[in-house]
Structure 1
Amino acid sequence: MFEVSTDLLFLLIAAAFAAGFVDSIAGGGGLITVPALMLAGLPPITALATNKVQGLFGAGMAAITYARAGHVNLKRQIGPAILSFVGALIGALLASSLPTDVIRLGLPILLIAIALFFAFKPGLSDVDRTQRITPVVFATTFVPFIGFYDGLLGPGTGAFFMLGFVGLAGYGILKATAHTKLLNFASNIGGLTGFILVAKPFWMLGLAMGAAQIAGAYVGSTLATRVGAKLIKPVLVIASTALALKLMADWF
């Protein structure tokens, strides 16, 4: 039976708050919570499953906050969210049978490329750009693909969704951020559903951290709504770079 001391519980809750704040702005909250859960003594698969429990609360809170501010219509995202859920569920169920280590090797390169894109691409702001593919094609191809990745591995899912909304759908930075959250919420549920079949998350710990995620996500999404691209871009660049460095460090 896994037990958490009071001091350790407060540290995990603090980590969840920080993750909710970062994740609501640019994604990458798992960079904070997964290592924290593993340092607390949880086995890797249990840490990933528990992380899905607490992470979905932050994504849900961020989605609601952005919707209330008028940056996203959640009803119009129900279809893509379902596809994100299905993709993540399939990814989680196949996680033990696919060569995830090979995929992991390329992740730092992709994340650094995303960081460089948002850091140096001229003209990126809260203003919408040219749409490269139709919403239907985007929803039926890109969304389930990233959802599948979230269920399979997970790190950088928010950044990948952001890249798609900005680079393919032509959304401005703030609008793109707002539109990633329900899809990320759905992929978290899909991934968690798959993990439940192969692992047992610590529900009480996940729910306690989830409450902190809600608070952190509310603060982060409210701040991002007010500041926009001036806040989101640097946080996204820092989070993507930090995650890439963390993944490279894990190799050694």
Structure 2
Amino acid sequence: MSQISIEILIFLIAAGFAAAFIDSVVGGGGLISIPALLFTGLPPSVALGTNKLAATMGALTSTINFLHSGKINKKLVIKLLPLSIIGAGAGVYVVQLIPSEFLKPVILILLILVTIYTLFKKGWGMESNFKELTKKMAYFIVLAALLLGFYDGFLGAGTGSFLIFSFLLLGFNFVESAGNAKVLNLGSNIAALITFMLFGSVNFQYGIPMGIAMILGALVGRKKHLGLCTKVYHVIVHN
């Protein structure tokens, strides 16, 4: 196993911190961390697996913080969690079937599309009006949890944002949606990471330092800037 250079180490730590800081509030941290790992020269499947290691470390920290805040609908997310886990495992399996020379451009195209969607999607969620699931809402969120779990295993970038939007559609406010999304995202991250490890597609030399940086980024983003970032997010998406 080759020694990681100090330049790459600093680069991954900076990228990991920035990705987790953003992801802890509005999601989309993978839009930073995945390109950073691809830039180091890792094969696409290994870059995705290594990102899952780092992202899981950051997501765990952020989820714990949300749990302490009481802004999570535990009854609902516990029911949806198995769907996210199953979907993520299936997504990773599909990634392993795709040749690297084809997977890299697919990843880049999806990253561009997710970035455009994140920038132009109109925001809402200042107040919570969720009461209970209707039959139509239940079908929607079940399908969303399964498909976004699959997407998280296949690529991952922007999964948090898509989950937040899904819960916003149910009537949760922005902070509650972010908390619910974090639990499902953590479940799919863990399932995807385990599956990537079984395929030998995780670089621990790169993933652990980036993961530690993501823990710090998640702590700073969640504890010190949640209110400010939420306001900035709504200003951006409404203008």
The answer to whether the superposition gives a TM-score over 0.5 is yes
Q: What is the aligned-residue RMSD (CA, Å)?
A: 2.9
Query: Which of 119, 143, 146 is residue 144 of structure 1 equivalent to?
Result: 146
Contact in 2 for aligned 1:173/1:228 (Cα 8 Å):
no
Q: Give me the whole-angstrom Cα distance separating, in 1, the residues matched to 2:201 and 2:207.
A: 11
SS in 1 for 2:24: helix
Q: Give me the whole-angstrom Cα distance separating, in 2, the residues matched to 1:126 and 1:197.
A: 42
What is the one-letter code of the residue matched to 1:170? G
- 1:92 partnered with 2:96: no
Matching of residues 60-99 of structure 1 within 5 Å: 60-74=60-74, 77-97=77-97
Change (3 A) 1:113 1:18: closer
- Structure 1 residue 127 displacement after superposition: 0.5
Q: Give me the whole-angstrom Cα distance separating, in 2, the residues matched to 1:79 and 1:140.
A: 9
Deviations 1:121-143 (A, max 9, x none): xxx24301467745743553221
Alignment correspondent of 2:188: 187
Q: Give me the whole-angstrom Cα distance separating, in 1, the residues matched to 2:64 and 2:126.
A: 19
Contact in 2 for aligned 1:92/1:194 (Cα 8 Å):
yes
SS in 2 for 1:154: coil
- 1:162 partnered with 2:164: yes
Alignment correspondent of 1:245: none
Alignment correspondent of 1:202: 203
Contact in 1 for aligned 2:62/2:222 (Cα 8 Å):
yes
Unaligned runs of 5+ in 2: none
Alignment correspondent of 1:31: 31
Q: Give me the whole-angstrom Cα distance separating, in 1, the residues matched to 2:126 and 2:60.
A: 22
Change (3 A) 1:185 1:77: same
What is the one-letter code of the residue matched to 2:213? A
Alignment correspondent of 2:10: 10
Change (3 A) 1:225 1:72: farther
Alignment correspondent of 1:171: 172
What is the one-letter code of the residue matched to 1:82? P
Contact in 2 for aligned 1:37/1:47 (Cα 8 Å):
yes
What is the one-letter code of the residue matched to 1:155? A
Q: Give me the whole-angstrom Cα distance separating, in 1, the residues matched to 2:224 and 2:155.
A: 29
Contact in 1 for aligned 2:48/2:155 (Cα 8 Å):
no
Q: Give me the whole-angstrom Cα distance separating, in 2, the residues matched to 1:36 and 1:210.
A: 13
Alignment correspondent of 1:250: none
- 1:117 partnered with 2:121: yes
Alignment correspondent of 1:215: 216
What is the one-letter code of the residue matched to 2:156? G
What is the one-letter code of the residue matched to 1:201? V
Percent of residue pairs bearing the same amino acid type: 35
Deviations 1:65-111 (A, max 9, x none): 12212211557533322221111001111234579778986775565
Worse-matched range after superposition: 52-61 or 75-84: 75-84
Change (3 A) 1:129 1:228: farther
SS in 2 for 1:25: coil
SS in 2 for 1:95: helix
Query: Which of 153, 178, 202 is residue 155 of structure 2 equivalent to?
Result: 153
Worse-matched range after superposition: 129-138 or 176-185: 129-138
- 1:128 partnered with 2:128: yes
Deviations 1:221-247 (A, max 9, x none): 123543473134357x5xxxxxxxxxx
Worse-matched range after superposition: 31-40 or 49-58: 31-40
Unaligned runs of 5+ in 1: 238-252
Contact in 2 for aligned 1:125/1:229 (Cα 8 Å):
no
Q: Give me the whole-angstrom Cα distance separating, in 2, the residues matched to 1:223 and 1:46.
A: 33
